[in-house]
Structure 1
Amino acid sequence: MTEPATHHTIPPWVRRAVVTLMAGLAGLWVLRGVVSSLRPLLLVLLVSFFVSFALEPAVNRLERVGLRRGPGTALVMLAVVGALGGFGVQVGSLLAEQVTDFSENVPRYLEDIDGWLEDSFGIQNATADLRADYDTGALAQRLGDVADDLARFGTTVANVLFQLFTIGLFTFYLVAEGPKLRRLVCSFLAERHQRHVLEVWDLAIEKTGGYILSRSILALGSSLVHWAAFELIGLPSSLALALWVGVMSQFVPVVGTYIAGALPLVIALLGNPADGLWVIVVVAVYQQFENYLLAPRITSHTMQLHVAVAFGAVIAGSAILGVVGALLALPAAATIQSVIAAEAERHEVAEHLIAESSQRRGHGPSDGQEH
């Protein structure tokens, strides 16, 4: 007698799990597309938040002396825009002057290079082709092509200015309406979570503001020292060059010092190679003075961050968000470090265990064994 065939039915929970999984995957795919489309806006909001954290301490001080939050925010932002505008005018006029001077003195530079190559290596007429191009106008045509590139660069600058305007607008509202925004966020959270959110928010403001303050103080000191040094060396536009060195060396992570020193070095070499050597000496000596004496004293009161942590944070930030991530990496790392230090449970170190471990490493694994 044959047994009746059994019918295997899929349990309902399996169907629900499959449907839920497919819906979740579809939702993630849609969310990825939305985030990708909104990435420029999200970057603007992220930068605006960090800028608002940097400006809020100054606005809070103005509010404590009686200035309403809206006008105080406008005043602080105008001061920042004025400082950035002054820096841009100084550096822009310097670059325009140097480009004009270079284009007018191309024949002299080519002759100097020819003379140096002939005296040093016996090479004659090494720049003859370039001089022929300059005399026939071919070099001017190449410079015209460069001008076209500069025009396209101008379009890029216009886009950047629009982005900066958008960041400024968001930053103004984030700072001016900061207390209301915190109250709104906390209204969606239970009381036990509100404390943590407000603590993290305050830490972000403290660390970002401390970072900007310490960098600004160091930039001011660097600019003053390099201004005096460049005046003694005799470099043209010494104030603009000093501002360039001060700002770039402090606010561009990792490679800022090299970018800062490159411009005055090139300008010095165009005038007198010996001046270039003095520029290298000044930048290198001041960098050592700043790294070992000045910066530790200032950052100890504002933002303490281990060099290895800072370097890793910059690499991670640049890998995630490019230049924006590199610029925001240090205050973000300082905030995360402070949150971990505040929330993590710390225990007393058992010194006898450390001593025993060191002794075992010093005498080898077999010395401490008993037979």
Structure 2
Amino acid sequence: MLQRRFFRIGAGVALILLIVYLGTLVDFIFTPIASLISLTIVPLLITAFLYYPLRPLVNYLEKKKLKRSLSILLMYLAVIIVLAIFSIIGWPTLRDQVSSFIENAPRFTQSIITQIQLLQQNPTIQQYIPAENNQELIAKLTEYLNTIFDWLSVHISSMFSFISNFVLVVATVPIMLYYLLKDDKRLSPQLLKLFPAGHKEDGKAMLDEMDDSLSSFIAGRVLVNLALCVLLYIGFLIIDLPYSLLLVFLAFFLNFIPYIGAILSAVPVAIVGLIESPAMGIWAIVIVIIAQMIQNNLLEPIIFGKQLDIHPFTIVVLLLVGGDMGGILGMLLVIPLYMVVKIGIVHIYGMYLKDKMNHNFEDNPNKPNKDSIFKL
């Protein structure tokens, strides 16, 4: 029996590999699909990031006897007002800081090396860094800094590249978001039609768990990151840190990445502060640490309704894979995608076991009643 099962599994794996190989031979079919996905991924991502935070507000207004469509339009009006204020006050500054950062990035390395050389003249520092190691240390540091600035320049440019498709985003996001919010209660029944008749309740439980997990992760993280960015921006303004709005903008997105995001957002802050002076770099890091402590110890316990049920090692592996395949966008998407896939696999496997148990009881009616087993 074990041999038959082994050969069945082996045949299934071989068939999957054969299908994948044949798929690579008909790329004229999959290329348009890949182009469609790459074109719509940003609008879909923006829609999801707006849908989960806005849905509770729309539901609240609906409970106050407002029509759902009117509640959505009121939310749209509030979002438009916020965007209009940002476009007048914040966007010109952010645009100028992005252009200046990308333009001056090649010169940042030399500025940091100059600051470090000045710092090495301090007698206290010279005790820990012998003079004969200075050149080797500076050479390695220059190499690392060039790599970091190249990475930052490329990814900052890619994060703002969707502005070139601004018309597409403006044309699609409001429409998709409107119908998602309006037909929110109809979406689950439509998806339940995909499940067999005997698994409607199991399917509903799976969809509800997926929705709760995504809502907790996205909506909670949006609120936490907004509060964190306000704290960071106030602190950066106090110490007059250059590129403060750009650094806060990066921190908002990077902190969606668990564990690693806090480190990634702190690196450019430390570098920009060090370009000005060692004291500015130290104060910038102090502000980041204080803001992160407030976030972890005060904001997250209040805002988050549910923590990630994912082992930290798994998260690190997922982030490495997502970053390698899709850069920052891949790292942002990999955790929610894994959550959905994990919940789906667990529930589908549970449905399989349930069907198998029912089949065994039907074939062996002399066995104890299955209800009595569940009560044990």
Q: By the TM > 0.5 criterion, same fold?
A: yes
Counterpart Cα distance in 2 of 1:77 and 1:26: 43
- Deviation of the 1:92 alpha carbon: 5.0
Is 1:261 matched with 2:266? yes
- Residue 256 of structure 1 deviates from its aligned partner by 3.1
Would you say 1:311 and 2:326 are equivalent positions? no
Residue of 209, 223, 241 corresponding to 1:203: 209
The 8 Å contact of residues 87 and 243 in structure 1, kept in 2 or not, is answered as no
Q: Which of 7, 27, 31 is residue 36 of structure 1 equivalent to?
A: 31
The 1:98/1:211 distance shift into structure 2, 3 A limit, reads: closer
User: Would the aligned equivalents of 1:213 and 1:302 in 2 still touch at CA under 8 Å?
Assistant: no
Q: CA deviation at 1:279?
A: 0.8
Matches within 5 A, 1:161-240: 161-165=166-170, 166-187=172-193, 189-235=195-241, 240=245
Instruction: Name the CA distance, whole Å, in 1 between partners of 2:167 and 2:101.
Output: 31
Q: CA deviation at 1:215?
A: 1.4
Cα distance, 1:26–1:263 mapped onto 2, change above 3 Å: closer
Partner of 1:73: 72
2: distance between equivalents of 1:301 and 1:226?
A: 24
Q: How far apart are 1:117 and its partner, in Å? A: 6.5
**Counterpart position of 1:284:** 289
- The amino acid that maps onto 1:191 is A
Contact kept? 1:219, 1:250, Cα under 8 Å: yes
Offset of residue 81 of structure 1: 6.1
- Whichever residue aligns with residue 164 of structure 1, its letter is V
Per-residue deviation at 1:93? 0.6
Q: In the aligned structure 2, how far is the partner of 1:199 from the partner of 1:119?
A: 60
- Is 1:248 matched up with 2:248? no
- SS at 1:221 equivalent: helix
- Structure richer in helix, relative to its length: 2
Q: In structure 1, what is the Cα distance between the partners aligned to 2:20 and 2:308?
A: 44
Residue 302 (str. 1) matches residue 306 (str. 2): yes
Once the two structures are TM-superposed, the CA of residue 248 in structure 1 deviates from its matched residue by 3.4
Given residue 239 of structure 2, which amino acid in structure 1 is its aligned partner?
I
TM (norm. structure 1) is 0.57
Task: Report the CA distance between 1:98 and its aligned residue.
Answer: 8.2
SS of equivalent residue, structure 1 residue 219: helix
Preserved contact between residue 273 and residue 284 of structure 2 (Cα < 8 Å): yes
Deviations 1:115-170 (A, max 9, x none): 9979978xxxxxxxxxxxxxxxxxxxxxxxxxxx9xx9899444442453334433
Task: Name the residue aligned to 1:96.
Answer: 96
Displacement of 1:308 after TM fit? 2.7
* Separation in structure 2 between the aligned mates of residue 60 and residue 83 of structure 1, nearest angstrom: 21
8 Å contact from structure 2 (residues 115, 274) kept in 1: no
**8 Å CA contact retained: 1:223, 1:246:** yes
* Alpha-carbon distance between aligned partners in 2 of 1:342 and 1:225, rounded to the nearest angstrom: 41
- Segment drifting more, 80-89 vs 213-222: 80-89
* CA–CA distance in structure 2, aligned partners of residues 111 and 322 of structure 1: 28
* 1:304-344 superposed Cα distances (whole Å, 9 cap, x missing partner): 33423333333344456554442222233344555667777
Gaps of 5+ in 1: 1-20, 122-148, 346-371
Cα deviations by residue, 1:67-92 (Å, 9 ceiling, x for unpaired): 33333334445545665676676365
- Alignment partners' CA distance in 2, 1:154 and 1:340: 32
CA distance in 2 between partners of 1:26 and 1:232 (Å): 56
Structure 2 letter corresponding to 1:66: K
How high is the sequence identity, in percent, across the aligned residues? 20
* 8 Å contact from structure 1 (residues 233, 278) kept in 2: yes
Task: Tell me the residue number matched to 1:60.
Answer: 59
Contact kept? 2:54, 2:75, Cα under 8 Å: yes
Measure, in 2, the Cα distance between the counterparts of 1:115 and 1:236.
Answer: 16
Query: How many residues get paired?
Result: 291
What residue ranges of structure 2 are gaps of 5+ in the alignment? 1-14, 122-153, 351-376
CA distance in 2 between counterparts of 1:48 and 1:268 reads 31
Instruction: Give the structure 1 partner of residue 132 of structure 2.
Output: none
Aligned-residue offset at 1:271 = 3.8
Find the aligned partners of 1:326 and 1:295 in 2 and give their Cα distance.
Answer: 23
Deviations 1:162-183 (A, max 9, x none): 4533344333323322333433
**Taking structure 1 as reference, are residues 323 and 273 closer, same or farther at Cα in structure 2, changes over 3 Å only?**
closer
Structural RMSD (CA)? 5.0
Per the normalisation by structure 2, the TM-score is 0.57
Structure 1 Cα separation of the partners of residues 160 and 291 of structure 2: 37
Give the Cα–Cα distance (whole angstroms) in 1 for the partners of residues 175 and 252 of structure 2.
Answer: 24
